[in-house]
């Protein structure tokens, strides 16, 4: 089956990619194994050189890459440029810090014992379309610096981005075969995981995809890291700066048209400030402008279309089911009569457990106001989810916020008076239905290594 890229703004076909033939898959796997054997023995300084060049290319070509993202999945140009810049930062960060993170450690209590960090081999990455460069680089930069090879199975609708990535890695000077994209169907992923050439697998995607990859990796007894969906709660307490909280929550909810696992989704607000917060959020959502993601200057939109028609249809169904279950539609919630897969910024009030907008991940610009009596109920509602990726709390008391973030909220990434975002310096990942394992930082680079105990008797 040919992979088709469709511009979500115009609904016009813009590219086709033929699937990788079986014979080519064999060649790619063999080349990855051969390249990794030599790469895994190279010094960190040698590995860092092409990674730094990759970062420089990403930064220099940010405008071109942003245009590719706008055309293939609808990201506004400014956000696409920021994504490319963040990719460059990650390359530079791991080029600088990998040697320290993976330095062999002496064990003082056991004479002659050392702990070494050695690569696992070839790592397969099953990546999504919503951050088509960042998701790949945040896997590849630490994984390759750890001495592994990387095989990418990118989303069908962003094969142009995948081709750009392969080209960038080649021009940066990585050894041939060390990084490649395999254009394979979803139902071919399990067979790839089972291949003896593949040593581990990482996935960013839905909970359904995560279960399938985890099952395949478990059957093959291979390490896996899963970053799955989220229904991130943002708790607004009675002492919060309501205007600032509303601005932060809306900024998070509208980034990438709401198509991000860690965007604010459930706004859990204590009653004393609920009305004021709802009014402030409504005003900001109503002022947001949707439009052509290629727009610049005064024509630059706040959000573009959703990436695919089926995604918009699924989001609209969640809104309708939530309203039918008792939520109040304050703003938006109607499919616009225009070309492109746009969905308006939408605000639902009175959302409770049992409603789609509370229980499910809403992958689009839909915000849900969840009323709470007090801090205790707000935290309980925040944790009443199958997910556990990100969470935030807004309060005038930083120590109160820190206490709730560290001890109350159940998620892998918790922030106070800000929105959740990934950072190359910090571990990133979730719990429960949001997956397991960590990416980025010290903990991320150690996910795909053999933590090897070496003991020598004199």
Residues marked as catalytic: 227, 261
Q: Residue 399's CB: how many other CB atoms inside 10 A?
A: 9
Three-state SS at 412: coil
At residue 205, what are phi and psi to the nearest 5 degrees? 175, -155
d(Cα 319, Cα 317) in Å, to the nearest integer?
A: 5
44-60 and 159-172 helices, crossing angle to 10° = 130
Here the tokens at position 418 are: 């800000």
> To which residue do tokens 């249809």 refer?
313
Residue 93 near residue 425, CB atoms below 8 Å: yes
Using alpha carbons, list the distances in angstroms from residue 319 to 199, 232, 368. Answer: 41, 17, 10
From the centroid of its chain, how far is CA 333? 25
Name residue, tokens 């478990």.
218
Instruction: Identify whether the C-beta of residue 47 lies closer than 8 Å to the C-beta of residue 39.
Output: yes
Beta-sheet strand order (sheet of 390-394): 328-331, 346-349, 366-372, 266-270, 233-236, 390-394, 413-416
Rounded Cα–Cα distance for residues 352 and 349 (Å): 9
Q: Residue 37 and residue 16: Cα distance in Å, rounded?
A: 34
DSSP string, 413-433: EEEESS-----TTS-B--SGG
Strand-pair partners of 393: 235, 416
Token representation of residue 36: 């990794």
What is the number of other CB atoms lying within 10 angstroms of the CB of residue 59? Answer: 17
- The SS3 call for residue 166 is helix
3-state SS record for 10-34: CCCEEEEECCCCHHHHHHHHHHHHH
Q: How far apart are CA 349 and CA 277, in angstroms?
A: 11
């Amino acid at each position: 089956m040919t992979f088709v890229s469709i511009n979500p703004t115009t609904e016009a076909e813009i590219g086709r990619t033929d699937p990788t033939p079986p014979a080519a898959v064999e060649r790619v796997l063999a080349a990855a194994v051969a390249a990794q054997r030599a790469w895994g023995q190279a010094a960190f300084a040698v590995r860092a050189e092409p990674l730094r060049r990759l970062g420089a290319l990403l930064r220099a070509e940010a405008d071109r890459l942003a245009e590719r993202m706008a055309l293939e999945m609808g990201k506004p140009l400014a956000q696409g440029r920021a994504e490319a810049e963040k990719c460059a930062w990650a390359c530079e960060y791991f080029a600088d810090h990998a040697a320290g993170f993976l330095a062999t450690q002496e064990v003082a209590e056991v004479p002659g014992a050392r702990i070494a960090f050695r690569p696992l081999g070839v790592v397969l990455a099953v990546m999504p379309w919503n951050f088509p460069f960042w998701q790949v680089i945040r896997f590849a930069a630490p994984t390759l610096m750890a001495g592994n090879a990387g095989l990418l199975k990118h989303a069908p609708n962003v094969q142009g981005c995948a081709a750009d990535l392969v080209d960038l890695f080649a021009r940066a000077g990585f050894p041939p075969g060390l990084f490649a994209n395999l254009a394979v169907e979803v139902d071919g992923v399990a067979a790839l995981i089972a291949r003896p050439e593949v040593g581990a697998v990482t996935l960013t995607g839905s909970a359904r995809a995560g279960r399938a990859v985890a099952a395949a990796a478990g059957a093959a007894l291979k390490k896996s890291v899963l970053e799955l969906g989220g229904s991130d709660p943002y708790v607004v307490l009675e002492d919060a700066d309501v205007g600032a909280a509303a601005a932060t929550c809306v900024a998070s909810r509208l980034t990438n048209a709401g198509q991000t696992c860690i965007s604010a989704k459930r706004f859990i607000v204590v009653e004393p400030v609920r009305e004021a917060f709802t009014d402030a959020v409504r005003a900001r959502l109503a002022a947001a402008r949707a439009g052509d993601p290629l727009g610049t200057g005064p024509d630059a939109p706040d959000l573009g279309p959703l990436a695919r028609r089926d995604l918009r249809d699924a989001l609209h169904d969640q809104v309708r089911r939530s309203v039918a279950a008792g939520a109040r539609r304050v703003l938006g919630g109607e499919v616009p009569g225009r070309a492109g897969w746009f969905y308006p910024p939408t605000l639902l009030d009175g959302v409770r457990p049992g409603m789609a907008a509370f229980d499910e991940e809403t992958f689009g610009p839909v915000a849900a106001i969840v009323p709470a009596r007090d801090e205790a109920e707000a935290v309980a509602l925040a944790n009443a989810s199958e997910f556990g990726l990100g969470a935030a709390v807004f309060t005038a008391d930083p120590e109160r916020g820190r206490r709730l973030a560290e001890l109350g909220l159940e998620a892998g990434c918790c922030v106070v008076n800000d929105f959740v975002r990934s950072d190359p310096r910090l571990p990133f990942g979730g719990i429960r239905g949001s997956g397991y394992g960590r990416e980025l930082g010290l903990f991320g680079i150690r996910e795909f290594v053999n933590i090897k105990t070496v003991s020598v008797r004199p």
